[in-house]
């Protein structure tokens, strides 16, 4: 039996922009919210703090879960995810973000982070694409969003 991976992602707004981790590979530039997997014996808030520091050099207060997304790589037509990946992503509201250090441990293909204007989310390669309107309006109508791209 394969394990389900749990990850936490920071939803951090500043004015009319959203904090995103910026990546580059053969698709060009693409973006996700900062965050990543919860390690064994690590609490959700510890993973939140660690991932935010690694990917942005920032600290913030972790708020409530806004929504949950499920990723089943075998059901997607992509070679960019590990085979058989089954992941639950918890997207949490974030307040009081501030950069306190240089990012120290970028993920594979990550080249930095950006404050992306909300009105540009439709024009970039952003995951989860299905949630763009919710991020733009800051309206998350249900907690479990299911398996979405």
Which string of DSSP letters, residue by residue, matches 64-92? EEEEEEEEEGGGSS-SSS-TT-EEEEEEE
Q: Which residues contact 18 (CB under 8 A, 6 or more apart)?
A: 11, 12, 33, 115, 116, 118, 121, 135
- Our count of domains for the chain comes to 1
Question: Which residues of the chain, if any, have pLDDT below 70?
Answer: 1, 73-75, 78-82, 84-85, 149
In the prediction, which pLDDT does 30 show? Answer: 93
CATH code, domain carrying 82: 3.90.79.10
Q: Which H or E element spans position 48?
A: helix 44-56
How many Cα atoms occupy the beta-carbon half-sphere of 120 within 13 Å?
Answer: 12
Main-chain dihedrals φ then ψ at residue 52, nearest 5 degrees: -65, -40
Pick left, alpha or beta for residue 135 (phi over 0 → left; psi -120 to 50 → alpha; otherwise beta).
alpha
pLDDT digits (tens, 9 = 90+) for 41-78: 999 999 999 999 999 999 999 999 999 998 776 667 76
> 22 is written with which tokens?
């910026």
Main-chain dihedrals φ then ψ at residue 121, nearest 5 degrees: -60, -30
What is the pTM for the complete model shown?
Answer: 0.89
Contact 122, 132 (CB under 8 A): yes
In the prediction, which pLDDT does 79 show? Answer: 63
Identify which of 14, 63, 6, 82 has the alpha carbon closest to the alpha carbon of residue 38: 6
Which strands form 35-37's sheet, in the order they lie side by side?
Answer: 35-37, 5-11, 86-99, 58-72, 144-147
**Residues of the domain holding 88:** 5-147
């Amino acid at each position: 039996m394969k394990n389900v991976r749990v990850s936490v992602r920071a939803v951090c707004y500043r004015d009319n922009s959203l904090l995103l981790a910026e990546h580059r590979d053969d698709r060009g530039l693409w973006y996700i919210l900062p965050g990543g997997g919860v390690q064994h014996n690590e609490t959700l808030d510890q993973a939140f703090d660690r991932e935010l520091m690694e990917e942005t050099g920032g600290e913030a207060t972790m708020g409530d879960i806004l929504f949950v997304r499920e990723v089943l790589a075998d059901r997607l037509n992509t070679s960019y995810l590990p085979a058989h990946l089954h992941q639950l992503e918890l997207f949490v509201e974030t307040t009081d973000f501030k950069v306190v250090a240089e990012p120290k441990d970028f993920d594979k293909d990550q080249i930095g982070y950006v404050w992306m204007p909300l009105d540009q989310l439709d024009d970039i390669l952003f995951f989860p694409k299905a949630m763009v309107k919710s991020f733009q309006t800051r309206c998350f109508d249900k907690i479990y969003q299911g398996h979405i791209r």
